[in-house]
Chain A
């Protein structure tokens, strides 16, 4: 009987573990090795051991730090713009207004469309000649700011981050909703009897009780922003001159445009370490606050 259980365990887990080994564990090991080598990506070309040179090259490369700053911009927009919008929408669709289900359903549409579709759509809307945004700006006399936003270093990352915010606000809205629906109705009623205004109720009851959702949001936002790839790739391709790239884009460019496989692998490992450290760190840090 016991033996049968073992057999079943192994058999049932095999497909999942096999995929994990082939597509996660092996690639990571292979990247660790590759990050210590120099290779031009051509099959059969020699790989030479160069120690930590790739890492040094990455850290002394200006575009790596630009890409970290860009990830930081996504973080800033995520916390200062997206979080308030998402939380406000969550309050709205959990309030007692009529048609809230309808609003919730429509708000979620951009999330469903997928990143590439949204990115290309906004790229068209922001087209400097025919895009709706620019046509509108010109129509109301703001010709000065109707230029090619996505091609302007310094501005493009902010624009992309805002589009990202447009796209995923509703997803985060639902994260906050999940927390809001667990707040007992009695608390609000009690506060109402005590003569609290709506704002006071939100400030002193709803927000403190949403602490958990804020934690979940923070973890998703912090770990998400270093992994940003799709939306930037589709909207600016990381350009002009890598000014809008994130670490993930640099990794891709190094591997497939510059054929610096070792350096790309080094970025992959840095990303991996950042990803794990940030997830574990955020979880630890935010969980401790509870006590």
Chain B
């Protein structure tokens, strides 16, 4: 009896927070198909008149589709480059610890984590203007790689350290050099942690705001957050298209989340233990 009551209380709390997180999202989906007028009169009912024009408007004025493609391209490239650069560094840090350079680099990355990105913002953008690299995707991608690298190197190094050195020795006896040892043997073993880090950098790069704000000024090169802000500036009074824009741009990340939610959650928890 008492146990039952406890369960009920827990369920009530669980459902309450469920409503708090889910209702605004559902509301956004419904409202993306309404006119302002209808939102005013009946906030929570289904639209009487389905305004699919909202999506068309979000795409034609806000460049929604283009910005999603840009964001996807930037996010994918960031992820791939970051994993390659991070794995190379982590391999050396984990396996060549006798060498001073490897240890100092690790310290440098540890210190690097504490640097707020905003402290580097203005020089990075001035550098881009000086070199003519404003509106250059590669430059933006490299900046994203850099600010994800520290986390990647932590996770990779931790994982590599947990793999027994006997694996290396066996491979070296079989004639593996460093590169083939890393690519053929260690990378396959590290797959889980690579997947976790890949998702993190993907989501980060897809939605990053500050650098895209300062480095990208041509509307056709806007990534999602940037495009969303400028669309809001242009059409703030029309909520329907605003919601439509939000829903469209949320679709890719939500798909990634549905596919990989287990890895994401275990990744956050693994990161939390290390602090």
Contacts and interface: CB of A to CB of B under 8 A. Distances in A.
Asked if A pairs with B, the answer is yes
Contacts of A64: none
B61 interface: no
10 contacts: A9-B102, A13-B105, A27-B123, A31-B119, A112-B256, A116-B229, A117-B228, A174-B269, A252-B118, A268-B120
B210 A272 contact: no
A116 B226 CA distance: 9
Contacts of A125: 24, 27-28
A97 B7 contact: yes
B214 interface: yes
B101 interface: yes
B163 to A, nearest CB: 17
B18 A107 contact: yes
A114 interface: yes
Contacts of B109: 16, 20
A81 interface: no
B224 to A, nearest CB: 7
A268 B122 contact: yes
B91 to A, nearest CB: 6
A216 B272 contact: yes
Interface of A: 5-6, 8-10, 12-13, 15-17, 19-20, 22-24, 26-28, 30-31, 34, 43, 85, 88-89, 92, 95, 97, 99-100, 103-110, 112-117, 120-125, 127, 129-132, 135-136, 139, 166, 170-171, 174-175, 177-179, 181-182, 198, 212-213, 215-216, 219, 223, 226-227, 229-230, 233-234, 247-248, 251-252, 255-256, 261, 264-265, 268-269, 271-272, 275-276, 279-280
A174 B249 CA distance: 25
A23 B146 contact: yes
A213 B272 contact: yes
Given A17-B105, A109-B25, A229 B210 contact: yes
A142 to B, nearest CB: 14
Contact of A16 (B88, B207, B210, B273): B88
Interface string B256-274: 1100010011001110110
Contacts of B127: 22, 26-27
B114 A280 contact: yes
A34 B119 CA distance: 12
A269 B225 CA distance: 27
A255 B264 CA distance: 36
Given A121-B246, A132-B43, A219-B275, A27 B239 contact: no
B56 interface: no
A168 B129 CA distance: 35
A16 B150 CA distance: 9
Interface in B130-157: 130, 142-143, 145-147, 149, 153
Given A12-B88, A13-B105, 20 more contacts: A9-B92, A16-B85, A16-B86, A20-B109, A24-B112, A28-B120, A104-B265, A106-B21, A112-B254, A112-B256, A114-B207, A116-B224, A116-B228, A120-B242, A121-B246, A174-B269, A177-B269, A179-B273, A229-B210, A234-B228
Nearest to B238: A130
Given A109-B254, A120-B228, A229-B209, A30 B123 contact: yes
A132 B20 CA distance: 13
B28 to A, nearest CB: 6
